[in-house]
Amino acid sequence: MTESTTASLAEADQRPAGTLERGSSIATDTDSRPGPFDGHEAVAILERARASIDPELRAAIESLPGSMRRIARYHFGWEHADGTPAAGNAGKAIRPALVLTTAAALGGPGARAAAVRAAAAVELVHNFTLLHDDVMDRDTTRRHRPTAWTVFGDTDAILAGDALQALALRLLAEDPHPASAAAAARLAACVVELCEGQQADTAMEGRGPAEVTLGEVLAMAEAKTGALLGCACALGALYAGASAADAEAVDAFGREAGLAFQLIDDVIGIWGDPSRTGKPAGADLAARKKSLPVVAALTSGTPAAVELAELYEVPYDGGDLEPTVLAVERAGGRDWAQGQASDRMARAMQKLSRAIPDPEAAGGLLALAEFVTRRTS
């Protein structure tokens, strides 16, 4: 953990929400910036989490019927479309890392080891949402390869996603740990919230550019993204035997960090490098999605907001997206999203300090939170 991170946590509870100390290592630009945060600690945490949960994931997926097993293996990058072995990208494992790191922070190494099945369950739920989101959004690329629905069809991809959700709850139902029942209930409630957020997201696509408020899109983002990150932290707290107050505090930390994550994800979706993101540039703009930077731009009251609204009123015809990108930027959407991500990170640090006031104990969680707000893909 860097010195700046340690100092930031120690001082977080003394600063108003939305402020960061001058020279903070938290940055939200999609370009790499020099600074005290280098991401090495977070990368190590993520790699360790992936190594811990993969055996559980593979064992769970092996229990699926053949057709769904094949789709799941493809989606996780373990197989090619023809069923031959692959060494693909299964994702960053941010959510299971939050489960395991929270458990360790509140209960030590033993709690971390006990929470591996819960961490795998969270990762299964996350991938259930990805399979379904790709179908609903008609996204054709994920993790640098064709999405599952483009390879296997809508129906099979949806059913594979359903199966992953069922596997997640089965992992917890079969876990003898005393916290497993509470964890299963919490994860199930989170899935309902995720569905609520996705429904709100898709409903917004059918509304005009002037009909969506910034408050609505922030609430949608918390439900779609923040809820699962918060739940991951809460499950870690449950498996550590932490108090209800501490579980709620780390849940709030995860939610705020999740909003920061989504803000940066939306920035990357517009200005990111496709060679790093694994997705085509401007896909959200082409789909006329009401992403956070876009809605901030549309509600800015600037001349560029009027221009953007006019562009968004017309379905994308396959032409140049650059005028739309420039309109979002000129209307302040990018600057707002980056500033809001910093604000959410400050709030996350405040919430975390209530449950884990010791900077050393909280270091892994802070490293992960910084990592997701400095990522470029």
| 227 belongs to a structural domain | yes
Extract the tokens encoding 338. 């980056």
Contact 168, 121 (CB under 8 A): yes
Output the pLDDT for position 275: 74
| Residue 127 confidence (pLDDT) above 90 | yes
CATH (domain of 260)? 1.10.600.10
Torsion sign (Cα): 123, 129, 131, 133: negative
| 375 belongs to a structural domain | no
| 305 belongs to a structural domain | yes
225-266 confidence digits (pLDDT tens): 999 999 999 999 999 999 999 999 999 999 999 999 999 999
Q: Tokens 């609903």 appear where?
A: 136
* β-strand pairing of 141-142 with 145-146: antiparallel
| 19 belongs to a structural domain | no
Q: Please, which residues have CB within 8 angstroms of residue 94's CB and are 6 or more apart in sequence?
A: 46, 229, 261, 368, 371, 372
Q: Which of 20-24, 234-238, 362-366 has the weakest average pLDDT?
A: 20-24
More confident residue, 102 or 204: 102
132-159 confidence digits (pLDDT tens): 999 998 989 998 899 999 999 999 999 9
Give the amino acid at 376: T
| 101 belongs to a structural domain | yes
Range of the structural domain that residue 127 is part of:
3-8+35-370
Name the domain count of the chain: 1
| 222 belongs to a structural domain | yes
| Residue 106 confidence (pLDDT) above 70 | yes
Backbone dihedral angles phi then psi of residue 142, each to the nearest 5 degrees: -150, 135
Greatest pairwise CA separation for the chain in angstroms = 60
Report the C-alpha gap between 221 and 59 in whole angstroms.
Answer: 32
Output the pLDDT for position 219: 95
Class of residue 22 by CB neighbours under 10 A (exposed 0-12, middle 13-18, buried 19+): exposed
- pTM over 0.95? The answer is no
| 23 belongs to a structural domain | no
Nearest to 95 by CA among 194, 21, 218: 194
| 13 belongs to a structural domain | no
